[in-house]
Structure formats: structure tokens, C-alpha cells
Structure 1
């Protein structure tokens, strides 16, 4: 089963006005373990400063359009207090992780209008002991409000040291 980006419009088929709908989408996708919790954040680039919320998506990672630094979805940098991780295959296919056999330009997400820069929201599911268990990543096109659940509740596995 291949990873496929499925896009939806904002509320009632209209573009949404801000990141609230993508935050709601990733919060709804995240599944907390009993006794665990879910944290949701809208991603912005600390290096580029306030309001730097435009990201291009490639190779299963989100890159700031200002400085090209990756967010850290695939390795744990998105949440500095966590340990390094890798994403494990789960019920929904993961985005392609790197160019190579089977990697096509069509694997790079674009909204239905053809835009490739997105606002990004991340939901992390934590176990009762505070360990990250899964991640969901949502994309929102600021041009037309289209939404996509890019990573759907992917399991997180601690990376080998």
C-alpha cells in the first residue's frame, strides 16, 4: 500500500482562515494510550523568527522555506525534550523517506491548487511515563486552505544510540 496525500477543503468546503483546522485534524488523528496524553503544536522555525511558518515537504520531512532546516519529524528533533526516534510502519503507510527506487516527484505533496509550501501542525502522543509513542503531521496550504493528514498516527521507536 502506497502513501497517498488526501486533501480536503476547510470547513463546509471553504478555505480555512488559519491553522485551527489543521490543529484539530492532527489532534483527532492522535491516539493516546491509557494514562497518556497528546500535545499539539503549530510548527514555526526558531531560526527564522516569529511568523516563520512556511514549510516545503520532501523525503518524509518538513523543511523551512527560509533556512531549509528540517523540522525533525523523522528523527525526533521536532520535540527537543524527547529522545532520538525513527518512524515505524503502522496501519497507514509512511511518506517516502528518501529518493530511490519507487520515489517519484508525485510523492512530493502539493495542494490541489499546485502549491508546495505549507503550515505544519504536529500531534505527539505520550505514554504515561512521558515517552513519545506516535506522531501525526498535518499540512495546511495558506493559499487555499486545503488540508492533508501527511503522517497519520505513525508509531515512534527509539533510535539506536
Structure 2
């Protein structure tokens, strides 16, 4: 079974300003190991600064609209506290298609039900009690119409070896 996205709308069908809806979606769906913790963060570009919060999404990665630098969802640079590069493995739900080279197919670029392709992004990181990162979830919110989806659903984080 391939990766699919199920879109929902924020309570009342009205988009909320900022990343509030996408943070609530992750808070409601994030899963941590029983003795661990979950950190949920609204994504902002490290290069452009905290005011750049819109991303295009393709091949399992989120790219800043301002500078096109990826967040680091698939390679481990999404959160500096992780301290190591990683790779993702599916945990029940399939992963989005990964990049296999330059260029994108139309099916690689998610769009909200209204056809928009720029999103606010939130990341949930699930840590074990020993502080080791165990899982990641990524949610998308369309800033135009408030549509929400869970893009990466509790993928296992595995340290990447050279």
C-alpha cells in the first residue's frame, strides 16, 4: 500500500492564523514510547529566519519557499538536539515517496483539496526516556484554506551509518 494523505479541515471549517491548527493535529496524533516525551515544533526556516514559515513539499521533504533549503525531515537535520543524521523507516503507515533524483513528478507534490501546494509545517519528535530520538511525525496545514493532513505518521528514526 502506498503513501496516502487524508485531508481534514480545522474546527468550524475556518482557517486559524499561523500554525495553531497544524500543532493541534500533531498534539492529537503524536505517539511517544511510554516512558519518553514528545516535542512539537512549528517549522521555520533556519536560513530565512522565524518569519519564513511556508514550505513546498515534495518527495518526502519540506523546502522553504524563500530559499529552497530543505528542513531535513528525511536526513536528520530537522532538529539540532538529535545530534546525528538519520534515515526514516515506516512505522505502520507508509512513508511519502523519497527523492530519487532531480525533478519532481506531479504525484510527488502534495496539494490540499483546493489545489494549493504551499504549507505551514509542524514536526513532532518522539524521544525515549534515555533521550534518544525514536520517531518523527510531520503535519501540513494549507494557509489559504486551513486544510490539514498528517504527512509523515510516526516514522521510526534510525541512525544513518556512513
**TM-score over 0.5 for the pair:** yes
Q: Distance in 2 between matches of 1:160 and 1:10?
A: 40
- 3-state SS of the aligned residue for 1:81? helix
Q: Distance in 2 between matches of 1:152 and 1:28?
A: 12
Equivalences for residues 63-82 of structure 1 within 5 A: 63-82=63-82
CA RMSD in angstroms, aligned pairs only: 1.5
| Structure-1 residue corresponding to 2:117 | 116
Q: Distance in 2 between matches of 1:47 and 1:104?
A: 27
Equivalences for residues 47-86 of structure 1 within 5 A: 47-82=47-82, 83-86=84-87
| Structure-1 residue corresponding to 2:12 | 12
- 3-state SS of the aligned residue for 2:80? coil
Contact 1:30 1:134 in 2 (8 A): no
Contiguous gaps of at least 5 residues in structure 2: none
| Matching of residue 98 in structure 1 with residue 99 in structure 2 | yes
C-alpha offsets along residues 128-147 of structure 1, whole Å, 9 cap, x if unaligned? 11111000000001011110
Using the size of structure 2 for normalisation, the TM-score is 0.92
Equivalences for residues 150-161 of structure 1 within 5 A: 150-161=151-162
Q: Distance in 2 between matches of 1:157 and 1:50?
A: 28
Q: Distance in 2 between matches of 1:66 and 1:53?
A: 9
- 3-state SS of the aligned residue for 1:21? helix
Segments of 4+ in structure 1 off by > 2 A? 12-18
Q: Distance in 2 between matches of 1:143 and 1:33?
A: 34
Q: Distance in 2 between matches of 1:79 and 1:43?
A: 10
Contiguous gaps of at least 5 residues in structure 1: none
Q: Distance in 2 between matches of 1:118 and 1:8?
A: 14
